[in-house]
Amino acid sequence: MTKINLMEKLSSFSDHWSPKVIAEMNDYQFKLVKIKGDFIWHNHADTDEVFIVIEGSMCIEFEDRTIELSEGEMYVVPKGVNHKPYAQEECKIMLVEPRNVVNTGDKEDDLTASNDIWV
Amino acid sequence: MTKINLMEKLSSFSDHWSPKVIAEMNDYQFKLVKIKGDFIWHNHADTDEVFIVIEGSMCIEFEDRTIELSEGEMYVVPKGVNHKPYAQEECKIMLVEPRNVVNTGDKEDDLTASNDIWV
């Protein structure tokens, strides 16, 4: 057990849309991810998903509206709800969700990332 | 569902050692708490507990060592492990843990806070 410095962890990778695990709490994982551009529409049938913006700003598009998140803001996407994250400029975020959640949810895509990649 | 601004939520209360719920993800809660001075030795028999420092710095004392956390740093206290948080100056932190976790864990104390207080 060592403490985890979010900025240090973020500086250790540069790829986009590829979540890196930094911590586990019970059967939940904390992941850092850098995003830029458009993700795909998807949902997670079995779990809510938390977004926390560490640096930059991003949007989450829903079927009926779009929310914008800036540094220091968080959002809980409810399970089963279709959403599409995007960011015009690179944005650094933390995700909190159960272990084994696939980033593209119900969709298989080029953007589907490997799970359990730790930094 | 609205987005949650951590600093706005933190500005809405001023008491110490009294966690306020700001979000739920499945059966987990995200709580903000301002701490200053000494907490008590305790543990949580059934769950890990995540500390994320939003502003300031704090320490977590364990039986065999003390770790110091500054802004942007996080720590996972494993379940069942005795610990005592403290902060010389006021520190603003976010906790992540299952719903119904009592702040003083296995101890009943003047510092035992009500659960499920939302801001």
Contact A23 B47 (CB under 8 A): no
Q: How confident is the model at residue B66 (pLDDT cuts 50, 70, 90)?
A: very high
Nearest-Cα residue of chain A relative to residue B51: A3
* Domain-embedded: residue A115: no
* CATH number for position A70: 2.60.120.10
Q: Tell me which chain B residues have a C-beta less than 8 angstroms from the C-beta of A4.
A: 73-75
Asked if residue B112 belongs to a domain, the reply is no
| Domain membership flag for residue A90 | yes
Buried b (16+ CB within 10 A) or exposed e, A50-84: bbbbbebebebbeeeeebebebbbbbbbeeeeebe
Domain contains A58: yes
Task: Mark yes or no for CB contact A5/B48 under 8 Å.
Answer: no
Residue B1 pLDDT > 90, yes or no? no
Q: Cα separations (Å) of B82 from B36, B42, B64, B107, B111?
A: 19, 5, 10, 11, 16
Give the H/E segment covering residue A101.
none
Beta-carbon contacts of A88 under 8 Å, excluding residues fewer than 6 positions away, are none
B67 touches B22 (CB < 8 A): no
B64: in domain: yes
Q: Sort out which chain B residues have CB atoms less than 8 A from A96's CB and list them.
A: 25, 28, 96
Q: Find chain A residues with C-beta within 8 A of B76's C-beta.
A: 1, 23-25
Give pLDDT tens digits for A82-111: 999 999 999 999 999 999 999 999 999 999
Residues of A in contact with B24 (CB under 8 A): 48, 76
The alpha carbon of A40 is separated from its chain's Cα centroid by a whole number of angstroms, namely: 13
**Residue B20 covered by a domain:** yes
**B7-25 residue pLDDT tens:** 999 999 999 999 999 999 9
Q: What is the ipTM of this complex?
A: 0.96
Subunit contact B28:A28, Cβ cutoff 8 A: yes
Residue B85's pLDDT is what?
98
Residues of the domain holding B46: 6-98
CB-based contact B48 A25, cutoff 8 Å: yes
Predicted TM-score (pTM) of this structure: 0.97
If you measure CA to CA, which chain B residue comes closest to A50?
A: B25
Reading the block at residue A18, the tokens are 């590829």
Provide φ and ψ at B6, rounded to 5°: -60, -45
Chain A: residue whose CA lies nearest to B98: A26
Q: Å from A74 to nearest chain B CA?
A: 5
Rounded CA gap, A107 and A91, in Å? 23
Domain count along chain B: 1
Residue A1 lies in a domain: no
pLDDT of residue A78: 97
In a domain, A103, yes or no: no
With beta carbons less than 8 A apart as the criterion, state whether B56 and B90 touch.
Answer: yes
